């Protein structure tokens, strides 16, 4: 399996790809857009994208990209995230004047960051990329929030460990591919739809699932560009697309939705039962 991910070696997306398939070949990309392009136009079969975090919430850019591209979702993986404050060897915490990381990582470590004084917080494109940045600059007055593996890759020291606001810090990743064939037996479906702006429209849309006892596990709205204050609605439902009740619900929804598209039907993540897998999570 060949999987494209956004970021440098040591990024959490890379760890998620290896968690899904420890034997996978992984390929770094500079941006999320590049991940989609790599899957769409090269021999790399899959791309992995963070979509939501239990502390920081949704990664909105990737919701937008799922609509802009025609790559179906074929799997998902959950990764427990432990953040570390990394610095060039010899740097002390008192000497740090700037801290770099991805906006999501910064949001997940707000309490730790608020406890520091006189430190500039700088958002970057990637956690591991931030580690690479301070390594390349040999910056003894800076630090990066990233994974322990990023510290190992770029030869950095750990100034503080487990600095996220909550121990239960879990990021959900989606796997996309050119082929719609799911990686496992599907029991979950993601879709996106738009509605007419009229009273009760969203209530009626959600009722098609409630009436059939279909569990709605995620609902997200995103603005439609060029149409002020109109929205796309993303939904995850705990039923495969080929299920008769799901098919009936989507036919019902299509009767009054302005648009409806299935983004993928795939297997929801199941935690590995092996001890090796548990060790892998702890080291991520």
Dihedral sign, CA of 248, 251, 255, 256? positive
Determine which one of 91, 124, 127, 171 is catalytic.
171
CA 221 from centroid of its chain's CA atoms: 16
Quick one: angle between helices 32-41 and 60-68, nearest 10? 30
Are 190 and 62 within 8 A, CB to CB? no
Dihedral sign, CA of 197, 198, 199, 204? negative
d(CA 84, CA 35): 26
CA 48 from centroid of its chain's CA atoms: 8
Output DSSP code: residue 12. H
Told to judge if 173 belongs to the known catalytic residues of this protein, a careful annotator would answer yes
Determine which one of 173, 193, 209, 233 is catalytic.
173
d(CA 265, CA 72): 8
Told to judge if 171 belongs to the known catalytic residues of this protein, a careful annotator would answer yes
**Helix, strand counts (H, E) of the chain:** 10, 15
Q: Which residues are marked as active site?
A: 171, 173
């Amino acid at each position: 399996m060949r999987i494209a991910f956004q970021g440098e070696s040591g990024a959490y997306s890379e760890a998620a790809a290896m968690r899904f398939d420890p034997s996978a070949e992984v390929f770094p990309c500079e941006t999320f857009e590049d991940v989609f392009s790599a899957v769409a136009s090269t021999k790399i079969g899959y791309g992995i994208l963070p979509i939501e975090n239990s502390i920081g919430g949704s990664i909105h850019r990737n919701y937008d990209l799922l609509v802009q591209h025609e790559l179906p979702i074929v799997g998902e993986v959950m990764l427990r995230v432990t953040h570390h404050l990394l610095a060039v060897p010899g740097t002390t915490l008192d000497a740090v004047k700037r801290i770099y990381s991805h906006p999501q990582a910064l949001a997940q470590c707000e309490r730790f960051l608020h406890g520091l004084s006189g430190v500039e917080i700088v958002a970057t494109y990637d956690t591991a990329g931030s580690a690479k940045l301070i390594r390349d600059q040999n910056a003894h007055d800076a630090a990066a929030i990233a994974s322990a593996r990023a510290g190992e890759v770029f030869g950095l020291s750990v100034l503080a460990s487990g600095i996220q606001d909550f121990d239960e810090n879990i990021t959900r990743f989606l796997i996309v591919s050119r082929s719609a064939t799911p990686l496992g037996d599907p029991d979950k479906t993601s879709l996106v739809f738009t509605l007419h702006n009229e009273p009760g429209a969203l209530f009626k849309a959600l009722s098609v699932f409630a009436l059939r006892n279909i569990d709605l596990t995620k609902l997200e709205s995103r603005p439609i560009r060029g149409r002020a204050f109109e929205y796309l609605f993303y939904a995850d439902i705990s039923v495969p697309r080929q299920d008769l009740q799901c098919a009936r619900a989507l036919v019902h929804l299509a009767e009054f939705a302005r648009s409806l598209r299935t983004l993928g039907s795939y297997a929801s993540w199941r935690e590995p039962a092996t001890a090796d897998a548990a060790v892998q999570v702890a080291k991520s």
